[in-house]
Amino acid sequence: MKNIALICIIITIIAFNTFGQNYCNIRDFYGDFILVNKMNWKGKEYISTSIKEPDVPNCASALIKNNLKFIEYILTNFSNLKKINEKILPINDSLTLQQIFIEELKKRKLI
């Protein structure tokens, strides 16, 4: 009887380690798949955002790759980009623009 209980405990521990999910926060990888560019059209500047497949594999790569359009939909409609755009529009350096946009986006609760 003790052997059966011991075997059950060992199988349970192995199952938890094998089938358990690792924690992966997609916010840590915003810079890998969100692109931010300053565009000019008819004399007015605006911020353009787009979603791309991550170049570097990470724990969220498959999730991002399989949901590019959905992530773009959420970014466009639920992140309140207007307030972020007003804050970063005066910035001319593209790297700084990208970094500040990502930092502001991470502050948002919804996305």
Give me the residues paired with residue 55 across strands: none
Model pTM above 0.75: no
Tell the residue number behind the tokens 């915003």, with chain if given.
Answer: 30
Q: Provide the residue ranges of all domains of the chain, joining segments of one domain with +.
A: 23-107
The DSSP result for 67-106, as a single string, is: THHHHHHHHHHHS-HHHHHHHHTT---HHHHHHHHHHHHH
Model confidence over 38-69: pLDDT tens digits?
A: 888 888 888 888 888 888 888 888 888 898 89
pLDDT of residue 40: 85
Model confidence over 79-105: pLDDT tens digits?
A: 777 777 778 888 888 888 888 888 888
Q: Write phi, then psi, for 44 (nearest 5 degrees).
A: -110, 135
